[in-house]
């Protein structure tokens, strides 16, 4: 990170990931063409949990290249009189896995549901579960950044 004063310690970065529920998943195909998509997520002990349709650009990329990057910006505010921006953000790097087992998919989707809609039942039938992709991202490295906008 170029500006050390913006660096967030790992504990604060992990808290930001745990508190969030919306971020941007970056994938790349076999030719390293990047693709970024907004997603809901849950943080679970070193892993991001993301759900998806079972087909599409993101899933094709993950089948070709498991390396991903994930970004969360928890807050931001432009400070016009200072030509600056207040923000807190985290970028995480890791490896994605398409979860295949139905039991594991259900467990992870239940965790995602509890993060996005606490206390609500998980309404997914076995048929719906079979038509849902679950992506588990093992975070290997992260970098948090914040600016007070001064």
Where are the chain's structural domains?
4-147
Neighbours of 125 (CB within 10 A): 8
Answer whether CATH 2.60.120.380 is correct for domain 4-147.
no
End-to-end CA, the chain: 19
Q: Is the pLDDT of residue 7 over 70?
A: yes
Measure the CA angle with vertex 71, ends 69 and 124; round to 5°. 85
SS3 category, 100: coil
Q: Are 130 and 46 in contact (CB under 8 A)?
A: no
pTM above 0.85, yes or no: yes
Q: Is the pLDDT of residue 4 over 70?
A: no
Q: Is the pLDDT of residue 14 over 70?
A: yes
Q: What are phi and psi of 117, to 5 degrees?
A: -145, 70
Query: Could you tell me which residue, 27 or 148, shows the higher pLDDT?
Result: 27
């Amino acid at each position: 990170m170029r500006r050390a004063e913006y660096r967030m310690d790992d504990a604060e970065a992990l808290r930001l990931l745990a508190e969030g529920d919306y971020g941007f998943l970056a994938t790349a195909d076999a030719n390293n063409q990047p693709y970024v998509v907004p997603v809901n997520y849950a943080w679970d002990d070193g892993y991001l949990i993301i759900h998806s349709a079972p087909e599409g650009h993101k899933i094709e990329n993950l089948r070709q290249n498991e390396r991903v990057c994930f970004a969360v910006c928890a807050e931001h505010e432009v400070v016009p009189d200072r030509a600056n921006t207040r923000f807190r953000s985290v970028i995480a790097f890791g490896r994605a896995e398409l979860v295949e087992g139905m039991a594991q998919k259900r467990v992870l989707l239940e965790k995602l549901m509890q993060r996005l809609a606490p206390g609500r039942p998980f309404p997914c039938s076995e048929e719906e579960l079979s038509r849902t992709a679950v992506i588990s991202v093992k975070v290997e490295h992260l970098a948090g950044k914040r600016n007070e906008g001064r």
